[in-house]
C-alpha cells in the first residue's frame, strides 16, 4: 500500500486507546524491535543513529501515552505534534542520534567534547556526493549549549532526486566533528529500509 507524503503523518485515529493498545502491545513491540535493529547504525564507539519512520513513531507515541497515562485527544495531539516531524517524507530521512554513555565519568568526558555533533553528521553517497544533516532550529535551541551537548538529538537529511537514485550499497554514514571522526558503511538491510523512506511509493 502506498503511503505518500500526504498520508505518512500520524493522526488521532492511528493511536489506539489504552485497552486496545494493551492487546497489541507485545506483538507490536516485537515488530518494532526488529524494525529498529535494521534501522540502527553504530558510528564509532559512543554514537548510534536510529532512522525513524511511521511505525517507530507510532510505537513511541503509544508507549509515551501508556507510561504518562495520556488519555485525552488533546494530549495525544500534543504528542503527535512533537513526533510527526520525525516521520520522513519522500526524499528525506529522519534519525534520532544517541550519545551512548553509561557512567557519570563518560558524560563528563564526552558531552563537553561533542558540542555541535548534531551538525556534523553526513551521508557519503557512492556517486561522490555528500548530504549533510539538518537540525530544526527550535530543537537545537533546546538541546545545545555552548559548553555541553545533550545525549539525544534529532536530525534530518534532504536528498535530491539524483541523490535518492545514488543511495545504494556503498553509502557511508559519517561524523566529521573535530573530536569524533568516524564513518561506517550502511548495511544492505539498512539501505533497503531507508530506500523505502526515500521513495514516493514505499509499498
Considering the chain, what percentage of its residues have pLDDT values greater than 90? Answer: 84
Instruction: Please tell me the distance from the alpha carbon of residue 52 to that of residue 96, in angstroms, as a whole number.
Output: 7
CA 44 to chain centre: 17
- Asked if pLDDT for residue 202 goes beyond 70, the answer is no
- Asked if pLDDT for residue 72 goes beyond 70, the answer is yes
- Asked if pLDDT for residue 181 goes beyond 80, the answer is yes
H-only helix segments in the chain: 5-8, 18-39, 54-68, 73-83, 104-113, 137-143, 161-166, 188-198
- Asked if pLDDT for residue 4 goes beyond 50, the answer is no
Cell of residue 88, nine digits: 520522513
Out of 2-6, 16-20, 92-96, which region has the weakest mean confidence (pLDDT)?
Answer: 2-6
Considering the chain, what percentage of its residues have pLDDT values greater than 70? Answer: 90
Average pLDDT rounded to a whole number, residues 3-32: 87
Q: What is the model's pTM?
A: 0.89
Instruction: Please tell me the distance from the alpha carbon of residue 171 to that of residue 174, in angstroms, as a whole number.
Output: 10
- Asked if pLDDT for residue 113 goes beyond 90, the answer is yes
Average pLDDT rounded to a whole number, residues 45-64: 96
The pLDDT of residue 141 is 58
Amino acid at each position: 500500500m502506498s503511503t505518500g507524503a500526504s498520508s505518512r503523518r500520524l493522526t488521532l485515529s492511528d493511536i489506539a486507546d489504552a485497552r486496545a493498545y494493551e492487546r497489541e502491545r507485545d506483538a507490536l513491540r516485537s515488530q518494532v524491535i526488529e524494525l529498529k535493529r535494521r534501522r540502527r547504525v553504530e558510528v564509532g564507539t559512543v554514537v548510534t543513529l536510529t532512522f525513524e519512520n511511521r511505525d517507530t513513531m507510532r510505537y513511541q507515541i503509544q508507549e509515551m501515552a501508556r507510561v504518562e497515562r495520556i488519555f485525552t485527544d488533546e494530549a495525544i495531539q500534543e504528542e503527535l505534534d512533537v513526533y510527526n516531524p520525525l516521520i520522513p517524507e519522500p526524499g528525506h530521512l529522519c534519525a534520532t542520534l544517541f550519545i551512548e554513555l553509561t557512567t557519570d565519568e563518560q558524560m563528563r568526558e564526552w558531552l563537553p567534547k561533542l558540542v555541535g555533533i548534531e551538525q556534523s553528521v553526513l551521508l557519503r553517497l557512492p556517486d561522490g556526493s555528500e548530504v549533510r544533516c539538518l537540525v530544526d532550529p527550535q530543537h537545537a535551541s533546546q538541546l545545545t549549549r555552548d559548553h555541553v551537548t545533550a545525549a539525544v538529538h534529532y536530525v534530518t537529511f534532504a536528498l535530491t532526486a539524483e541523490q535518492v537514485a545514488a543511495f545504494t550499497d556503498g553509502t557511508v554514514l559519517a561524523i566529521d566533528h573535530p573530536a569524533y571522526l568516524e564513518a561506517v558503511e550502511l548495511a544492505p538491510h539498512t539501505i533497503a529500509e531507508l530506500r523505502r523512506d526515500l521513495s514516493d511509493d514505499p509499498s
